[in-house]
Amino acid sequence: MNKAFVKENDADDEDGDVSGAPALPAGSRNYMTRRGYEILRRELDELVRFERPKMVETVAWAASNGDRSENGDYIYGKKRLREIDRRIRFLIKRIESAEVVDPERQQGSEQVFFGATVTIEDPDAGEQVWQIVGVDEADAASGRISWISPLARALLKAREGDRVKLASPSGMREIEVLEIRYI
């Protein structure tokens, strides 16, 4: 059947980023912790070994039922297969460009660098603990912020006792670094 009669378009085949992860700064490596790297590897393994073959089987079964133009299983299956393939390509690119950094082996542990767990005093929000991690493993609800986030950028190279300025939507704030750990 002609593609004109099916609600599919060529844009679905593009290699766009569907992950929701922000793009890496131009020319930079994809820094991540060992934990973040393992999470991406497990997700890729799950997609390649289990989810994609299962969806291929479903699409093949749906295609064998005949008329594909009104076959919901076939149409949904093809769409889901494209989403899985797009995510696999994204994960492969991220893993290939990954530079795994072990926070415990960081030099200059008296300063804030990638992988540091930093306790800060924010006059507006009180005491907070943040770990600086890779773009793909950031989760603010769990206390992990990306190394490219404004807060992490403000904290980089700070030492215990330093006060750093942070531009926020509510204006300039000054936060104090209370403790730096590499765990």
Same domain, 109 and 38: no
Same domain, 63 and 132: no
Angstrom distance (rounded) from CA 73 to CA 12: 18
- Looking at residue 14, what is its pLDDT? 47
Token pair 């005949």 in the structure block, residue: 66
Angstrom distance (rounded) from CA 141 to CA 182: 20
Q: Tell me, what CATH number does 143's domain have?
A: 3.10.50.30
- Looking at residue 21, what is its pLDDT? 67
Q: Where are the alpha helices (DSSP H) in 31-137?
A: 34-46, 52-63, 72-96
pLDDT in tens for each of the 183 residues of the chain?
444 444 444 444 444 455 566 777 777 788 999 999 999 999 999 999 999 999 999 999 988 887 787 888 899 999 999 999 999 999 999 999 999 998 777 766 789 999 999 999 998 889 999 999 999 999 999 999 999 999 999 999 999 999 999 988 888 999 999 999 988
- Contact of 114 with 103, CB cutoff 8 Å: yes
Angstrom distance (rounded) from CA 25 to CA 170: 25
Domain total of the chain: 2
- Residue 141 domain flag: yes
- Residue 61 domain flag: yes
Domain stops at, among 74, 100, 126: 100
- Residue 4 domain flag: no
- Residue 1 domain flag: no
Same domain, 96 and 122: no
Same domain, 50 and 130: no
Same domain, 96 and 119: no
- Looking at residue 15, what is its pLDDT? 46
Domain stops at, among 100, 130, 162: 100
- Looking at residue 20, what is its pLDDT? 64
Same domain, 64 and 142: no
Q: Tell me, what CATH number does 40's domain have?
A: 1.10.287.180
- Looking at residue 22, what is its pLDDT? 72
SS3 19: coil
Same domain, 124 and 146: yes
Same domain, 120 and 39: no
Give residue 127's domain range.
Answer: 103-181
